């Protein structure tokens, strides 16, 4: 089929937006990452790889932010993927009851991140919050504590909020994947005597690999972009226990006026996200089945 050359003109607006809002800022980040620009003055000096070496060898807060980000990432990717898949399996059929519960689970996604942060900050409050009295009322008083004030658990407390916030959203992706699996495969498996677990591991899981790839990749990117949630709940504290790369970049740029340094951290963040996403895609698609 021959494509008329004039149709390529329709690509120009999209390419212009992509070039303006992605290519140019990315190249700008690379450029400023090798300078000592403070974000205010027009003058700056080229420092080569000094910002990168300082980040990776001398800056303990940056290393802490990477560790916190990985903890946050592992918690959110595992539990959000698991829970969304379970809910999708339960609510896959298009009944009125299931549609109602889908809407209910999806509802938190339409809230703003700052609103969710304020809601859960109140729930987590050690004295006036709802969580500690609830745990005490069901005999789990030994678990009550300062959920956002304890450096050992603060990052996981926020990660739980992230899971609650977006599980309903990625559940919809899994439902779409599950509904595309041919019913004939299940019918043939039942005839062959396969139980539910065997049908899930041999049919469902391999055939929803594309949906799983989207969920895991999207959740990974979400975990590195959870700036607004963490900034509104803890600001990176206590004692940098919830500082992630996004909050580190913000503080470096807008609190310390080290825009060159923050640009270098942004480049490192981009490399980490790209590397992790590539590894995840390969692992998830390793057992992908075409039908």
Whether the pLDDT of residue 285 is over 60: the answer is yes
For 237-251, the pLDDT digits (tens) are 899 999 999 999 999
The pLDDT value recorded for residue 6 is: 80
For 164-214, the pLDDT digits (tens) are 999 999 999 999 999 999 989 989 999 988 898 999 999 999 899 889 988
Find, among 17, 19, 16, the residue nearest to 28 by Cα: 19
Whether the pLDDT of residue 283 is over 80: the answer is no
- Which residue shows structure tokens 């495969």? 185
List CB contacts of 63: < 8 A, sequence separation 6 or more. Answer: 56
The burial class, CB within 10 Å (0-12 / 13-18 / 19+), for 170 is buried
Q: Mean per-residue pLDDT for 96-119?
A: 94
Coil vs helix vs strand at 46: strand
**Pick from 87-96, 136-145, 218-227, 247-256: least confident:** 136-145
Please give the domain boundaries of the chain with CATH numbers for all domains: 60-287 (1.10.3720.10)
């Amino acid at each position: 089929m021959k494509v008329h050359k004039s149709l390529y003109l329709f690509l120009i607006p999209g390419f212009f937006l992509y070039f303006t809002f992605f290519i140019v800022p990315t190249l700008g980040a690379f450029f400023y990452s090798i300078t000592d620009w403070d974000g205010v003055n027009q003058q700056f000096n080229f420092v080569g790889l000094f910002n990168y070496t300082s980040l990776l060898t001398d800056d303990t807060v940056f290393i802490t932010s990477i560790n916190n980000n990985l903890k946050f990432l592992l918690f959110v990717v595992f539990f959000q993927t698991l829970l969304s898949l379970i809910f999708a399996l339960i609510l896959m059929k298009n009944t009125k009851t299931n549609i109602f519960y889908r809407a209910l689970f999806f509802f938190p996604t339409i809230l703003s991140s700052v609103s969710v942060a304020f809601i859960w900050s109140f729930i987590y409050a050690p004295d006036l919050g709802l969580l500690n009295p609830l745990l005490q009322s069901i005999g789990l008083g030994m678990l009550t504590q300062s959920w956002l004030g304890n450096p050992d658990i603060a990052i996981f407390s926020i990660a739980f909020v992230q899971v609650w916030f977006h599980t309903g959203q990625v559940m919809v992706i899994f439902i779409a994947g599950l509904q595309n699996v041919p019913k004939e495969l299940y019918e043939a498996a039942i005839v062959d005597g396969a139980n539910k677990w065997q049908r899930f591991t041999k049919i469902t899981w391999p055939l929803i690999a594309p949906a799983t790839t989207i969920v895991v990749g999207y959740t990974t990117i979400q975990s590195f972009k959870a700036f607004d949630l963490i900034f509104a709940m803890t600001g990176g504290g206590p004692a940098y226990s919830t500082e992630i790369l996004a909050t580190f970049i913000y503080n470096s740029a807008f609190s310390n006026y080290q825009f060159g340094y923050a640009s270098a951290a942004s480049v490192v963040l981009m490399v980490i996200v790209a590397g992790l996403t590539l590894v995840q895609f390969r692992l998830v698609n390793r057992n992908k089945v075409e039908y």
